[in-house]
Structure 1
Amino acid sequence: MKKDKASNSKNTRRDFVKNTTLLSAGMLLPTLEVGAMANVFENKKLKLALVGCGGRGSGAADQALQADDNVELVAMADAFEDRLTSSFNNLSEKYEGTGKINVKEKNRFVGFDAYKKAIELSDVVILATPPGFRPQHFAYAVENDKHIFMEKPLATDVPGIRKVLEMAEVAKAKKLNVVVGLQRHYQENYLKTLDLIKQDTIGKIVSGQVYWNSAGVWVRPRKPEYTEMEYQMRNWYYFNWLCGDHILEQHIHNIDVANWFIGEYPVSAQGMGGRTVRTGKEHGEIFDHHFVEYTYPSGAVVASQCRHQPNTMNRVGEAFQGTKGSVVTNDAGIAKIVDLNGKELHSISNSEGHNPYQEEHNQLFAAIRNNETINNGEYGAKSTMAAILGRMATYSGKVVTWGEAMKSDLKLVPDELSWNTKPPVMPNEDGFYSVPVPGKTTVI
């Protein structure tokens, strides 16, 4: 990672308040067997490892260090040395003199297998690599009895989803804490809104619209010295085996809110999408827009749209219509509920200083200290699957059911990777990558 990228991350995700209101949203589940606690609690110094040292991982490490007075970062791992070094330098600068950064040079691991060494040195691990690696890294952390914070999404293909669901059950049996970076579950205005929905304020939800429309994200230019593997790894967002397309990597947040508020996961999806603006060879194989219609077991239908097109309408948020009223939510901290005549019933906002990104870590470390358990693994995996289902629908142009999708053995991520591995997708002689074609592309 370049220095300016890391510095920008430091400004956007590190400067969060330490003390925020702890929410009791049913996420902290007391364990029954104190002796079954697989790792650490009470006053022991907690050893933290960071796997994935980009902006997201560095921000999560900073929040973890703020969440507990007796935690230290002891190991870091990344595919790229420059990205690890930049993250280490930024965190060291911020925490100079605190004793919270104790990552010896020998404990800064680089490469595809670096995650194993970092995880083995930790009590708590942050998993923030590109999501294609998440199932493998999560499984290793659970097998080694670590408490886990992992960023969304949790996989890019269905075999990965099945692995995450399997290991989430193992983590539950081991009483390991697993927090997933779907931070709206830790955000006050969403939690308060859900409470009102459960009180029948808007009646039964029958329809909804969820949005992630924005201008798009970064592109990192190809350099002559890059192998194809290094180029794709540095531009992971544009390759499905690493990212899963932006309907998964970003729009999962809004799809997850629909699943959460309705209390179900979709039974089917159909939709459309393509590339009309972001069409260069530097944009890999992903679409720049998706529109999906999700149908739920209750009969509710949710229209999902996400777009990466400059100079178009920006919107990130959700709206739901019920039999008695409707609700609008967004991550800016405001939610509104109105009745069928449009009269405002509730205006809901976050408390001053509340930050859900920080709250995720506050609750994770509080659970470890108090011998409680949080396990977000199942809903994290199923909301990831819902977004993959949407991608299957837009890429194929067909109606895809949850049941048939969950049986898919189509693997996007190779089992073994090295810098000499040929990536699963390759450019043609003109440098362009094959783009999914509705009606032709196989998705299951």
Structure 2
Amino acid sequence: MNDKSDSSKSFSSRRQFMKASSAALGGTLLYNLPVEASAHVLGSDMLKVALIGCGKRGAGAAAQALSTSENVKLVAMADAFRDQLDETYDNLKKIDDIKGRVEVAEENKFIGFEAYKSAIALADVVLLATPPAFRPMHFEEAVRSGKHVFMEKPLASDAPGIRKIMAAGKEAKKKKLSVVVGLQNRYDPVYQTFVGHLKDGMIGDIISSTCYYMIGPVNLVPRKSGQTEMEYQMRNWRYFSWLWAGSPAGLQIHNTDVVHWVKNAYPIRAQGMGGRAVYQGPEKGDIFDHFYIEYEYADGSKLHSQIRTIGGTYNNGGSFFQGTKGSGDMRVGLKDLSGKSLWRIRGVKEVNPYQQEHDEFFAAIQNNTLINDTEWGAKSSMTAIMGRMAAHSGQLIEWEDAINSDISILPERFSWDADPPVLPGPDGNYPIPIPGKTKVL
């Protein structure tokens, strides 16, 4: 690609691909099974897939899994909501290239908080795409049962959940189970080349980086008569920190993960600020609608993260780098301090990274090679959670304190009649974090 317009065209084409795909889709004794119980039996041609979490991202993950070159079939589905499961099933059956691989019998459609266990039991490969609050227990069950796992980011909502993820990831390695995390940039040849040049020092030492995730508001589903509070919050999971982990993890993690990848390191501390400029009034949950977070690495360099989910505002996204010899912008390339181009996105094979991560995942399973993204996926998730903790509390948060925190933000039990961790007051407003007062450690 020869100029910025060509680079923008490249990214536009990838966005169009995903938009078209979304349109087609409608948008204890944990490890007591032996290694021999690993899901896929070598020599078997067919891989049976279970989808846990049937929202738009789950639908996309299922379509991508079924679009690999491997012999795969979707045999089980699980979701908290029947209507969501049915919509995804119907939409998958409408896609000509994969509809023959969708073989989910009615008795293999499972509904409710415990549904994941029944679906996992039927599969060789499990796709975990629920809100992140549920990821640790779903991942633990999949690994305990000897299943290969694709799991969406972020990997948990709090530090206790991240520690569970990391423990299960170690067990997956022992059992020779492949685990892929849905941070698809790591599987994109364009990003791999860009990051490779940065690691090789094309713009010198990285002294600063900035990430942007500035978009419109997240979708709000109106409350319906007769809903329990738990159902309302789960229908609007992006508005509640315990379900979503907050936008530093739910959104910006894609960009901050690229910085960690470039530096081959994770921040040692974070401080930041944020609040609610427009998310006012009843029904809007407890999340902030804007954040600024400053992360510091051991070498003293800083990562600046800006996030906004407010309509009618300037939009921006991506990871940007300043080095001692130049600068880097994924949308343009690399240039020296005088502005002269050092590298542009030219001659690099472009693929759909969402598909690529599944292609490599299923190939690893069939070829009996091991992929395990758990550790870096967990650390990138924890970094984002640490940033949220810093902004919510207004304090400087150290990595060691954050990762070792015993504070869980999840409910005591998962049930439709259970109380979520945050409840609306008499006026319908939810309590929100207050910097200087909110305790996160």
- Above 0.5 in TM-score? yes
Shift of 1:416: 2.5
2:10 corresponds in structure 1 to none
Shift of 1:126: 0.4
- Cα distance between partner residues in 2 of 1:72 and 1:119: 14
- Cα distance between partner residues in 1 of 2:300 and 2:347: 31
Is the CA contact (8 Å cut-off) linking 1:46 and 1:123 kept in structure 2? yes
- Cα distance between partner residues in 2 of 1:212 and 1:405: 23
1:382 corresponds, among 379, 382, 403, to 379
Determine whether 1:396 maps to 2:393.
Answer: yes
Shift of 1:255: 1.3
Distance change (3 Å), C-alpha of 1:130 and 1:350: farther
Determine whether 1:406 maps to 2:406.
Answer: no
- Cα distance between partner residues in 1 of 2:179 and 2:231: 30
Shift of 1:417: 1.0
- Cα distance between partner residues in 1 of 2:83 and 2:327: 49
- Cα distance between partner residues in 1 of 2:18 and 2:410: 27
1:216 corresponds in structure 2 to 217
Shift of 1:425: 0.9
Residues 202-221 of structure 1: per-residue CA shift (max 9 Å, x gap)? 11111110110111221000
Q: What SS does the aligned partner of 1:277 have?
A: coil
Higher mean C-alpha deviation, range 165-174 or range 411-420? 411-420
Q: Which runs of 4+ in 1 moved over 3 A?
A: 8-16, 34-38, 40-43, 95-99, 349-353
1:341 corresponds in structure 2 to 338
Is the CA contact (8 Å cut-off) linking 1:189 and 1:335 kept in structure 2? no
- Gaps (5+ residues) in structure 2? 1-16, 26-34
Shift of 1:237: 0.6
Determine whether 1:60 maps to 2:52.
Answer: no
Determine whether 1:86 maps to 2:87.
Answer: yes
User: For this pair of structures, how many residues does the alignment match?
Assistant: 416
- Cα distance between partner residues in 1 of 2:185 and 2:112: 32
Residues 24-77 of structure 1: per-residue CA shift (max 9 Å, x gap)? xxxxxxxxxx98966344552000000000000001000000013411000000
Task: Using the aligned pairs only, state the percent identity.
Answer: 50
The amino acid across from 2:386 in the alignment is L
Q: What pairs up with 1:238-253 in 2 under 5 angstroms?
A: 238-253=239-254
Q: What SS does the aligned partner of 2:84 have?
A: helix
Residues 140-179 of structure 1: per-residue CA shift (max 9 Å, x gap)? 0011010111000000000000000111111111111100
TM-score by length of 2: 0.90
- Cα distance between partner residues in 2 of 1:9 and 1:255: 21
Shift of 1:340: 1.6
- Cα distance between partner residues in 2 of 1:327 and 1:357: 23
2:175 corresponds in structure 1 to 174
Distance change (3 Å), C-alpha of 1:350 and 1:367: farther
Higher mean C-alpha deviation, range 195-204 or range 389-398? 195-204
Shift of 1:11: 3.6
- Cα distance between partner residues in 1 of 2:412 and 2:378: 20
Is the CA contact (8 Å cut-off) linking 1:193 and 1:335 kept in structure 2? no
Q: What SS does the aligned partner of 2:100 have?
A: coil
Shift of 1:96: 8.3
Distance change (3 Å), C-alpha of 1:61 and 1:10: farther
CA RMSD of aligned residues (A): 2.1
- Cα distance between partner residues in 2 of 1:71 and 1:46: 5
- Cα distance between partner residues in 1 of 2:213 and 2:97: 38
- Cα distance between partner residues in 2 of 1:372 and 1:97: 25
Shift of 1:414: 2.8
2:413 corresponds, among 397, 410, 416, to 416
Distance change (3 Å), C-alpha of 1:349 and 1:268: farther
- Cα distance between partner residues in 1 of 2:24 and 2:229: 36
2:115 corresponds in structure 1 to 114
Is the CA contact (8 Å cut-off) linking 1:151 and 1:182 kept in structure 2? yes
Determine whether 1:328 maps to 2:329.
Answer: yes
Higher mean C-alpha deviation, range 65-74 or range 359-368? 65-74
Is the CA contact (8 Å cut-off) linking 2:364 and 2:371 kept in structure 1? yes
1:437 corresponds in structure 2 to 434
Higher mean C-alpha deviation, range 282-291 or range 35-44? 35-44
Is the CA contact (8 Å cut-off) linking 1:9 and 1:58 kept in structure 2? no
Is the CA contact (8 Å cut-off) linking 2:70 and 2:362 kept in structure 1? no
